[in-house]
């Protein structure tokens, strides 16, 4: 039986469409034929350096046209790609590298390691190299998750899990672009999907709104995925100088997506539809909400993905499928806490309607215990964010002698506006039970969030509250 190997998937595409563009970044691009040639060359170079089956190779660099070349070269060798955040300080890098225990550190020209990717690509390669036997259950990548707790864990994915994720989530609409960076599973999932379908994967620095629009226009992007915060920046930007007529899918997810935002996207980008995706590095694509349901099921993350088994235990979503990770690298304790009899505990609190559609209402660890009641913060966040004076908002449970924890609102105001606690509580009254209303208000310049996915870092909010005067 043929095994599911990541590099075989790409090679099949290159054989089918060798002259089609595979990847682009700014002024550079590689066709599928170019990409396979570069992968074969780099595979041989890495082999001469002793990189073989099971070796771990860190990639530490900014967005790079040849990061995929490195990833797929390592896949040919049965080695493991370990991409790290290019914004890490040297101390942060060393802390994660100590966990990864790499055989080689490859960097771009702006970071320090054993060798740069440019040096490897410029090195002469032998004419032949013996490739090891690679199996679909072999690890091919380790993603270090940031999450909301701070302690990084190495999430190990196999060839099989990556292939299964790719097969279950791809739609052929044309060139694909996402705001996810190259150290994040989300970015590589879109890359794998594009290369499986034979489409162009357009790389972009997602934090730069002008570059997103320029790339979208220059590469005639058909499908773009951005978290709600990215879409809000695109909506606020001047788009008049860009030809965005090729865009067909304006997709989003990972955090709460209000219907008002989806309506604004549809108005600003006519002819597009929006899919909402919800997933986890450990488990792949968990749910999807198709365009026909976005307003029928407002706020929902959709139905479970095909092949995804789900169960709800004490409000928490547990999932099981062939997309699952192998575990956390050299961290059996964390793996045992996250996986119970093959079921991955997402840590997300969900609600499910009678049609099977899911709503994510919070995180297990974020639940606020106040006056004997339990409050899911994400539910309050969404309501507060609808206030006309609010640019961004989130709540957290701040310790209190009388209540246990106080529902505390952290709000970023829109320019030229003001907001009092009483007004905010009145705004919440129509949508939330009284015990869920904020009892304190802290005005802040920004809500701390994880970089790629925009998840609220509620522990940091509690720390912020201790240093601010608050309104009762």
pLDDT reported for residue 256: 64
- Residue burial 228-250, b: 16+ Cβ < 10 Å; e: rest: bbbbbbbeeeebeebebebbbbb
| Residue 414 CA from chain centroid, whole number | 27
140 with 226, same domain: the answer is yes
Cβ–Cβ < 8 Å for 175, 220? yes
Domains identified in the chain, total number: 2
Q: Is the pLDDT of residue 470 over 80?
A: no
Of the residues 304, 326, 352, the one at which a domain ends: 352
State the CATH number of the domain containing residue 208.
Answer: 3.40.50.12780
The one-character DSSP state at 273 is B
280 with 385, same domain: the answer is no
pLDDT reported for residue 116: 98
pLDDT reported for residue 369: 87
264 with 300, same domain: the answer is yes
Cβ–Cβ < 8 Å for 376, 349? yes
Task: Please write the tens of the pLDDT for every residue from 429-440.
Answer: 888 888 899 999
Residue carrying the six token digits 């606690």: 421
378 with 247, same domain: the answer is no
131 with 219, same domain: the answer is yes
281 with 250, same domain: the answer is yes
Of the residues 306, 327, 352, the one at which a domain ends: 352
Q: Which helix (H) or strand (E) holds 117?
A: helix 117-122
Q: Is the pLDDT of residue 469 over 90?
A: no
Q: Is the pLDDT of residue 33 over 90?
A: yes
> Which residues does 371 contact at the CB level (< 8 Å), separation at least 6?
403, 404, 435
> Domain for residue 22, yes or no?
yes
Greatest mean pLDDT among 73-77, 253-257, 429-433: 73-77
> Domain for residue 471, yes or no?
no
Q: Residue 151's domain spans which residues?
A: 6-352
321 with 415, same domain: the answer is no
Q: What is the rounded distance in angstroms from the CA atom of residue 381 to the CA atom of residue 379? A: 6
> Domain for residue 358, yes or no?
no
% of the chain beyond a pLDDT of 70:
97
Task: Please write the tens of the pLDDT for every residue from 155-194.
Answer: 999 999 999 999 987 788 899 999 888 999 999 999 999 9
396 with 429, same domain: the answer is yes
> Domain for residue 472, yes or no?
no
343 with 371, same domain: the answer is no
313 with 437, same domain: the answer is no
> Domain for residue 441, yes or no?
yes
Task: Please write the tens of the pLDDT for every residue from 222-250.
Answer: 999 998 888 989 999 999 999 999 999 99
333 with 373, same domain: the answer is no
> Domain for residue 451, yes or no?
yes
Query: For residue 87, what are its two tokens?
Result: 């914004």
State the CATH number of the domain containing residue 411.
Answer: 3.30.300.30
pLDDT reported for residue 255: 60
95 with 239, same domain: the answer is yes
> Domain for residue 359, yes or no?
no
Dihedral sign (CA 158, 160, 165, 166): positive
Of the residues 318, 352, 386, the one at which a domain ends: 352
Query: In the predicted model, what is the mean pLDDT of residues 388-394?
Result: 95
> Domain for residue 391, yes or no?
yes
Cβ–Cβ < 8 Å for 412, 229? no
């Amino acid at each position: 039986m043929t095994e599911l190997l990541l590099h075989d998937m790409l090679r099949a595409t290159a054989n089918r469409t060798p002259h089609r563009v595979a990847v682009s970044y700014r002024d550079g691009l590689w066709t599928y034929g170019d990409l396979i040639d570069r992968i074969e060359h780099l595979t041989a170079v890495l082999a001469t350096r002793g990189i073989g089956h099971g070796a771990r190779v860190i990639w530490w660099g900014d967005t790079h046209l040849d990061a995929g070349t490195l990833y797929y070269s390592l896949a040919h060798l049965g080695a493991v790609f370990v991409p790290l955040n290019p914004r890490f300080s040297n101390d942060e890098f060393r802390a994660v590298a100590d966990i990864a225990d790499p055989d080689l550190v490859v960097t771009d020209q702006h970071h320090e390691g054993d060798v740069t990717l440019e040096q490897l690509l410029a090195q002469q390669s032998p004419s032949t190299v013996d490739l090891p036997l690679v199996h679909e259950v072999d690890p091919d990548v380790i993603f270090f998750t940031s999450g909301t707790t701070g302690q990084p864990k190495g999430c190990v994915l196999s060839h099989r899990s990556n292939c299964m994720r790719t097969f279950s989530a791809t739609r052929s609409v044309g060139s694909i672009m996402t705001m996810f960076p190259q150290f994040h599973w989300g970015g590589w999932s879109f890359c794998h999907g594009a290369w499986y379908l034979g489409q162009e994967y357009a790389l972009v620095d997602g934090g730069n709104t002008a570059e997103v629009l320029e790339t979208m226009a220059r590469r005639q992007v058909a499908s773009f995925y951005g978290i709600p915060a990215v879409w809000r920046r695109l909506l606020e930007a001047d788009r008049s100088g860009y030809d965005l007529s090729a865009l067909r899918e304006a997709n989003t997810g990972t955090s709460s997506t209000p219907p008002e935002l989806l309506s604004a996207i549809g108005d600003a980008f006519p002819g597009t539809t929006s899919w909402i995706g919800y997933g986890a590095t450990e488990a792949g694509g968990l749910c999807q909400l198709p365009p026909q349901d976005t307003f029928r099921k407002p706020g929902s993350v959709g139905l479970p993905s095909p092949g995804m088994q789900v169960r709800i235990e004490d409000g928490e979503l547990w999932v099981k499928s062939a997309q699952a990770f192998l575990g956390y690298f050299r961290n059996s304790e964390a793996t045992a806490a996250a996986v119970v009899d093959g079921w991955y505990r997402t840590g997300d609190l969900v609600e499910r309607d009678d049609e099977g559609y899911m709503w994510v209402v919070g995180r297990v660890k974020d639940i606020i215990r106040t006056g004997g009641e339990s409050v899911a913060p994400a539910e309050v966040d969404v309501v507060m964010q609808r206030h006309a004076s609010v640019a961004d908002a989130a709540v957290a449970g701040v310790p209190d002698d009388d209540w246990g924890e106080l529902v505390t609102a952290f709000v970023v105001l829109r320019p030229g506006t003001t907001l009092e606690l009483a007004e905010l509580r009145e705004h919440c009254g129509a949508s939330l039970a009284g015990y869920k209303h904020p009892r304190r208000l802290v005005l802040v310049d920004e809500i701390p969030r994880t970089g790629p996915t925009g998840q609220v870092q509620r522990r940091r909010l509690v720390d912020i509250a201790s240093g601010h005067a608050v309104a009762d």
